[in-house]
Amino acid sequence: MEEVFPEVAFWIFGIPVRDTVVSTWFTMAVILGGVVLFRMTRPSALEMLVEFFRSTVADVMTGVNVDPYIPYLGTLGLFLAVANNIGVVPWVCTPTRDINTPIALAVTVLIAVHIFGVQKKGLWPYLREQASPMIVLDIVGQASRTMSLSLRLFGNIIAGEIIVAVIYRLVKPIAPLPLIVLSLVTGVLQAYIFMVLATSAISTAVRTKDTAGAS
């Protein structure tokens, strides 16, 4: 079972670098390489992917111009879809099986929510809106939402990895293949859910009273 959990791959100036960090770098390289390759050979496939992200975000952020948020949300969804399933590559582990990766992604969502809110409404209007009598409960809610995002993603990914590892040890190597396929589907689904929840949080931050009433 030790192969399921992160291990130190090497050290840099006394700082441990885990195998999940190396896998994160590999995942980013795969995404960048894939985007360049598809842009040269199949640009229509990239356009379809962007359109999928746009329609998904637009379904959540009704009445809001979604174009400013597609680069962040699309990158988030694409990274998670690849990262959640990159573990099928031999000698590569899944980055999101390390709790630090989901937490880091959830924190970026928390930061992005406020950045987009300030960009949309302006610094002082946004701060006045946040400074409500329920500000303590708002802070608690944002903290719990961040933890919920990270723990939901981590829990589903690590559970799938543990199940596949256990079945692999108990029975023949061919037997876990259906579970691996199921974990791939789960990985994509978790990426979709994470992106939709992030979209919902950003939508709440950027909505004005007019757009909220219109939707």
Report angle CA 40, 38, 192 to the nearest 5 degrees.
155
Let me know if residue 99 belongs to a domain.
Answer: no
Amino acid at 170: L
Q: Which two tokens stand for residue 99?
A: 């709790």
**pLDDT, position 208:** 67
Rounded distance between C-alpha atoms, residue 43 and residue 32, angstroms: 14
Rounded distance between C-alpha atoms, residue 189 and residue 53, angstroms: 14
| b/e burial code for range 42-70 (CB count within 10 A of at least 16 → b) | eeeeeeeeeeebbebbbebbeebebeebb
Sign for the CA dihedral angle at 14, 16, 17, 19 comes to: positive
22 exposure class (CB count in 10 Å sphere: 0-12, 13-18, 19+): middle
- Domain around 134: 2-94+105-214
Lowest mean pLDDT among 70-74, 175-179, 202-206: 175-179
What does pTM read for this prediction? 0.86
Let me know if residue 203 belongs to a domain.
Answer: yes
Sign for the CA dihedral angle at 156, 160, 163, 165 comes to: negative
In this predicted structure, the answer to whether residue 114 has a pLDDT above a threshold of 70 is: yes
Rounded distance between C-alpha atoms, residue 170 and residue 172, angstroms: 7
Cβ 27 vs Cβ 82: under 8 Å: yes
Let me know if residue 188 belongs to a domain.
Answer: yes
Place of tokens 């919920």: 148
In this predicted structure, the answer to whether residue 180 has a pLDDT above a threshold of 80 is: no
Domain count for the chain: 1
Place of tokens 């709440």: 204
In this predicted structure, the answer to whether residue 138 has a pLDDT above a threshold of 90 is: no
- pLDDT above 90 coverage of the chain, percent: 48
**pLDDT, position 3:** 53
In this predicted structure, the answer to whether residue 212 has a pLDDT above a threshold of 60 is: no
Q: How confident is the model at residue 210 (pLDDT cuts 50, 70, 90)?
A: very low
Q: How many CB atoms lie within 10 A of CB 190?
A: 23
- Give 44-102 pLDDT, tens digit per residue: 999 999 999 999 999 999 888 899 999 999 999 999 999 999 988 888 889 998 999 99
DSSP state of 92: -
Let me know if residue 100 belongs to a domain.
Answer: no
Rounded distance between C-alpha atoms, residue 94 and residue 157, angstroms: 8
